Structure 1
Amino acid sequence: MLVKGFSIGYRTLKTAIGAAVSIGLAQFFGLEFFTSAGILTILCIQTTKKKSMNAVYTRALASIVGMIMAFFFFEGVAYHPLVLGCMILLFLPILVMLKVTPGFVSSVVIILHIFHNADFTADLLVNELLLMLIGFGTGLAVNMYMPDIQHRLNKYRIRIEELYSVIFVEIVKYLRDGDTSWDGKELVEANEVINRGKSLAYQDVENHLSRREDLYYMYFDVREQQLEIIERVLPKITNLPVIVEQAELVADFMEDLSQNVHSGNTASKYREKLDAVKVDFAKLSLPSTHENFLAMASLYQFIEEMDHYLAIKQTFKGLNPSHKRFTKNEKR
């Protein structure tokens, strides 16, 4: 959302709405320190649903532990700043032990309410519990809405396939014409797009409470493994001492592959084509010079690496392009 040149994200919008709602509810029910409900809500607004649920858990548990300790320290010793300081010194290690340290700030809010009142009564206890219920509950409820990111994931997928296609075309140019003008910028961009795609796909997993894996994440992981192969085999092609006749066979295969880097492509089909290239490769004349031998050896290594490239892809179940979603019934 854009307002007068400023960008307002969903999280910012949810934080503003959540804080207003929680404060309004706390005020409506006549709770003391009602503005603190807004603070508790803000602390629970996270980037994903799972993180938000974990935030509520850590903050609620830390706040309950804080109230118990406040009762014993303040009522048992005194409502004094030194007692408060000593309590916090002991309180933090306990939160670390319980693995709920993110709840420190919210729990201190509750503790300071008790310290300010200087009287731990049943009414105050109920007041703080209701503040927690409204604050944490509102934060969790607001954060249950997450914007759809499927179109962004699909955009990254399409861009990756475009980049791979360009890379393969550049390989074809070199094998046929010895063209070395390519600067390799697509390799850098592909790495960046894969990283952004994996990060976004992981966020998608975190926003689905019952889902432990995401096929988009698996897709970008496969593409990352393939990119490592591409980067590894490029020197075998670009450093050929001479262009031998076998290079045309590899060029034809790579040209075909470059035109079919999309969701309808099946790796098994191209592995069969690559096997045919290996057969034709073996039928051509043997190297007559040492340079020819080195060139043929590099090309054959390139073929083997591309077979590995396709094998990785074959292990992944593909994308249903009509729904822009990966399904487990189709191979990429």
Structure 2
Amino acid sequence: MSIEETKKTKLIMIGNTGDGKSSLGNFILKKKSNGFEVSDEAKSVTQKTEGSYGEGDRSDVFVIDTPGLQDSGGLDKDRQHMNEMVDYVKKQEGLQGIVIVLNCTNDRLSANIKAMIKLLCTIFPISDFWEHVCIVWTKCFNYTPLKKIEKQIQTKNVKFLPEVIKLAEETTGDKIVKIPMYFVDSRPDDDEIDNTRSEDEIVMLLTWARSLPSINVGKVIKNGSESERVIIEEKNEHQIIESDDVNIKYKINYMRREKRIKNDGTVEYSEWEVIKTKYKNKPIPKQYSKKPKKSFLDFLGNVGGALFELIMNGFGVNRILGANEDQSLEE
């Protein structure tokens, strides 16, 4: 059986020039040679969208590298690159994760990052867009003291993440609580320095990605090239009905709405309509049975559908979101 027939995980990496998309791709795929071309120059080396399979135990992972945005070529070049990316993505059935690659030195949501995220929302007009998005902070160097890394993580959670969540609601109307974030040194200067922490982060990223359903790549559209159109969006909404010390009964509403994109770029949404409802009754996973019940139920009520099902199936939060379970339940 070929690699293409056994592929399980597909990711696309998007970010600004110089933030380390290509080196991150090589790190994920465990490629030390014949990987994506990398450079320390301010000008983007990657000039076309291309994908590659990994090596060894990552041979079932497919990563798509894209040209950097905010390049010296200007807005027209960005638009050309993104439209070429759309052409490529439309052929990639099974795409699961959208990895926004950012430099770890960015503590606030800059205008450039805002513009990039808004552009992605336009290109990927899917109702569960944010469930497919994670952020990887690159250049989190392996020689950095652990306490400093922990401080960086805290800063991103306190300052950066709330701004992204606010932008998400303003742009797509989606109310999200968590976006998985991972902190890596994907291009260590010295192979002899222990980079286990970064490798563990990638394992968590892949665990998260494998939990996701595939993106409907047929809905991906080019930026500014379409006339007025109507897109049907679908999502699943989980709602807890009742619980005791052992079981949780919940329902899943399968919902649909119309997204109308006007010629001037403005977007209008119809109300969400429930198409069908499914009921489930499952035991509380063992690792959560001794947690404060209210905290656990509140946490379940604030995660997306895919994460809800994963948690109820016994997956630990720290293996999905890259977060401490006790901290996640407290937030």
Alignment TM-score, normalising by the size of structure 1: 0.24
Higher helix share: 1
More strand by share: 2
